[in-house]
Structure 1
Amino acid sequence: MKQRLLPALFILSLALFQSCKKDRDETPKEKETVGMYVLFEGSWGQNNSGIAWYDLRTGQSDANYFKTVNGRNLGESAQDLKLYGNKMYCVVSGTQGEKKSFLEVIDPLTGKSIKQIPFFDANSEYMPRSIAFAGGKAYVSGFDGYISRVDTASLTIDSRLSAGRFLEGITISNGKLYAANSDYNYSGDETTVSVVDIASFKKLYELEVGSNPTKMATSENGDVYVVLAGTTANAPAFKRIDSKTDKVTASYNYFVGSMAVSGTRVLLNVNPYSTPEIKPFDITSGALGSNFITDGIKVDIPYSISINSLNGDVVIGDSKSYSSASGEALCFSSEGKLKFKFTTAATNPNHTVFIYGNKQ
C-alpha cells in the first residue's frame, strides 16, 4: 500500500467521524472536498474492475486503490458506486454463468471492504446494474428483471421484487422507484420504465417511454429523466417524466451517452459515438447549452460525468479507448476549466464519489 496516502485518510476520519470531541458551542467548520473515489469498469471478461483514489489535499493518487488496500481485484464489470450514510456501495455485475455478481460494501475512510453481498442463488446470477437509496434501504436493479432490496443495517437482501426485464438504470422520486427495462438484445421490444411503490415494495405499472431505456436520474424538482439508447431501427432520445402524474411531459431528439444530475443542474454527453461533447441541459426550456469544457481540453471518449454538489466541480471519466490498458479521470471547475487529472488502472471510468471533510 502507498503509505503516503494513509495520513490524509487518517485526517479525513477525524474530520468526518470524531465530532464528539468538539465543544458544543464551537462554530461548525466549513466543509471541503478532501478526496474522490473513481470506479472503473475495466474491459469485458478481464476481471479488472477497480476503484482509484485521488487525495485533493496532497495531490497524490492511486490508480487501483481498492486492490492496494484489499489485496484483490474488485471483480468483473463493476457498474455503479454510491455513498449512503457512512458506507459506499459498489455494484459488481459479474458475468452470466460464473456467479461473480456482488454488492461490495466499502468503508469510505479506508477503502477496505466491509462485506461482499452475493447477488446470485443456486440457480442463476442477479446481474446487478444500478443502485438507489431511501429510508435505510438500498434498491438494486438487475438484468434478471428483479429489484433487490438491501437493509443497510444488517447488510442483507431482505426482499426481491419481479419488476420488469433487463432492468438497468434506477432512480427515486416522490416515494417511487423508476427502473428502466433495457433492450438487452436490441430487438426493439423493450420500451417501458417500471414504477414501484417504495412503502409497499410493490410494482404499480409500466410507463411507455420509447425504445431501449437505459440510464435514469432525478432532478431537484422531482422530474425523472431517462436516456433512450434506441436500437438499429429506432433513434435514441432523451425524455422527461413528471413523477407526480407519471406522464412523459417532454421528449428531445438528443443522443445521450451519459448524464449527471445535481440539484437543478444537468449535464449530458451528446453524440457519444461521433462528436462527443458535454453540454448543459436547461430543465426549464429543454435546450442544450454550449460545450461545458471551455479551455480546449480534449476528452477522447467521455464515458461518465459526475458533479460535485459541494463546489460544482465536474469529473469526466475518459475511456481513452474501450479496450485501452487504462482510463483517465479529469476534474474540471464549474466553469469548465481543467483543475487536475489522474489515471485509473483499467479503462471505462464510470462513477465518482466525492469525500468531504472539515476545511483546515
Structure 2
Amino acid sequence: MKRNNLFRSFYMAAVLFTSSFAFTSCESSEETTPVATTGKGVYILNEGNFGTPNGSVSYYDKDTKQVTHNLFSRNNEDRPLGDVVQSMAMYGDRAFIVVNNSNKIEVVHPETFKSVGVVQDLKSPRYFVFQHNGRGYVTEWVNYGERGQVSVIDLNTYTVTGTIPVGYMPEQMLLSNGKLYVANSGDNTISIINTATNIVENTFQVSDGPSELVQDKDHHIWILSAGKVVYNDDWSAIDYTKTTPGALIKFNTISNGIAATYTLPSNQSIPKNLTINDTKDKLYYNYQGKTYAQPVAATGLSSEVVINRSFYGMEADHRTGNIYGSDNNNFSGDGTVFIYNDEGVKLHEFKAGIGPNSFVFN
C-alpha cells in the first residue's frame, strides 16, 4: 500500500491487497536472534501483506553487502512490527517507523532496533517528518471521503498534541524555512502549514493527485502529481476519457508560486517514486515502465531513460548517488532490491522482506 495512485478509495485498496495470499518470510534460527546494525547502511521498509502484521525492516550493509532481516522482531522478543510498514524517518538517536494499517508509529533506537516508545491511535498514518525542536508531524488519511489531517507529535512523550486539517488523502511532506508543505493526493492541492502556529496559511492548486515532494539545490520544491484515475460505474475498467495525466511541478519557495508545470504525455501510465540525486541537481521518477532522469535546470520534460524498468519503490542514496529500486514479486514471497549507479548500470541485487517499498540511508 505504498501509494494509492491507481485506486482512489480504501475499499479498492483493501480488495487489491487482501486478494493476495498472506505469505510470510522464511526465517532461519539466525533470523530470530537479536542483532545490531553498524556502519553505513540502508534500511529497507517491507510493508508486508495488507491485513496481516508481517511488515518488517531489513538492513543492508554497504561495506559487507550482508542483509539482516526482521530487525524489529529480532530485537523486541519476536513482537510483530505491524500491518503495512509504510515509511520511516530518522531523528537523532531514534527512528520513527510509520505502520499504516496498525495506526501507529513505532519508535526504535536505529542501531539496536529496540523499541523506545509508540505513538498510538493514529488514523491511517502515512509519512513522518520532524523539526529539531522536539516536534514531529505525520500525515493521516483518516477515513475515505473525509478530509485528511496532519497530527503534531511530541517527540519526547510520543503523544499527539494537536491536529491540522488539510486536503484529502495527504501523503508526503517537506519542511522548508519554517513551512510544512503537504501533498494532498486525493485532490489537487498542496497545503502550506506555518510551523510556528501550526495553522494552514495557504493552499495552492496543482495537477491532480500530488503525492511526492523533493527539494533541489536551489531550494525549489518539486511535486510529482500522479493524475486522477477514473473508473466506469461498475469499477470494471478505467475510463480514459475522464482520467487525467500526471505532472512534474516546480514550486518556487521564494516567490511562493508555481514556476513550471510539465504535464506527462499519457494518461495511461501513473508516474511514481520521485527522488533526487546526491548533488540535488537531477530528479528520477518512474513512468511507462522506465526510470527517467530530469535535470532540475531543464526547461521541459527530459526524455533521458536511465534504467529501462520501473520499481515498486525507489530512492537515490544521498551519499553515493546510487539508485535503489525494489520489486514486490506480487507479494507472493520476499521481494527483491536492485542497486544501480547513476548511469543505470546494475551493481547488485538481494532479497528483502515482503513488499519492499522504500529505503532510508544512514
1:1-360 to structure 2, matched below 5 A, reads: 2=30, 9=37, 12=38, 34-70=40-76, 71-94=78-101, 100-120=102-122, 126-136=123-133, 137-144=135-142, 145-183=148-186, 190-231=187-228, 232=230, 233=242, 234-254=244-264, 255-262=270-277, 263-271=279-287, 275-285=288-298, 286-288=300-302, 290-293=304-307, 302-321=311-330, 323-347=331-355, 349-355=356-362
Separation in 1, partners of 2:62, 2:110: 15
Separation in 1, partners of 2:173, 2:114: 26
Separation in 1, partners of 2:31, 2:328: 28
Separation in 2, partners of 1:303, 1:240: 24
The one-letter amino acid of 1:316's match is: G
Separation in 2, partners of 1:7, 1:64: 10
| CA gap 1:3/1:164 in 2 versus in 1, 3 angstroms | closer
Indicate the SS of the match to 2:73: helix
| CA gap 1:340/1:65 in 2 versus in 1, 3 angstroms | farther
Task: For structure 1, list consecutive stretches of 5 or more residues without a partner in the other structure.
Answer: 13-32, 95-99, 121-125, 184-189, 356-360
Separation in 2, partners of 1:6, 1:67: 8
Q: For each residue in 1:262-310, what CA deviation from the matched residue of structure 2 results, as whole angstroms up to 9, or x when unmatched? A: 4524443332xxx4112221111144253323xxxx75x5012222222
Alignment size in residue pairs: 307
For residue 102 of structure 1, report the CA deviation from its aligned partner.
0.4
Separation in 1, partners of 2:260, 2:340: 30
Separation in 1, partners of 2:160, 2:258: 32
Separation in 1, partners of 2:153, 2:204: 25
Q: For each residue in 1:151-184, what CA deviation from the matched residue of structure 2 results, as whole angstroms up to 9, or x when unmatched? A: 223333222222233211211223211112222x
Contact 2:35 2:74 in 1 (8 A): no
| CA gap 1:3/1:131 in 2 versus in 1, 3 angstroms | closer
Contact 1:173 1:223 in 2 (8 A): no
Separation in 1, partners of 2:81, 2:151: 21
The one-letter amino acid of 1:67's match is: S
The one-letter amino acid of 2:218's match is: N
Separation in 2, partners of 1:247, 1:48: 42
Across the aligned residues of Structure 1 and Structure 2, the Cα RMSD in angstroms comes to 2.4
Contact 2:33 2:74 in 1 (8 A): no
| CA gap 1:55/1:2 in 2 versus in 1, 3 angstroms | farther
For residue 341 of structure 1, report the CA deviation from its aligned partner.
1.9
Indicate the SS of the match to 2:64: coil
The TM-score, its normalising length taken from structure 1, stands at 0.78
The one-letter amino acid of 1:260's match is: T
For residue 210 of structure 1, report the CA deviation from its aligned partner.
2.1
Separation in 2, partners of 1:8, 1:105: 16
Separation in 2, partners of 1:63, 1:292: 29
Identity of aligned residues (%): 24
Separation in 2, partners of 1:7, 1:227: 37
The TM-score, its normalising length taken from structure 2, stands at 0.77
For residue 58 of structure 1, report the CA deviation from its aligned partner.
3.0
Aligned to 2:19: none
| CA gap 1:134/1:54 in 2 versus in 1, 3 angstroms | same
The one-letter amino acid of 2:203's match is: E
Bigger mean CA offset, 256-265 vs 303-312: 256-265
Separation in 2, partners of 1:8, 1:66: 11
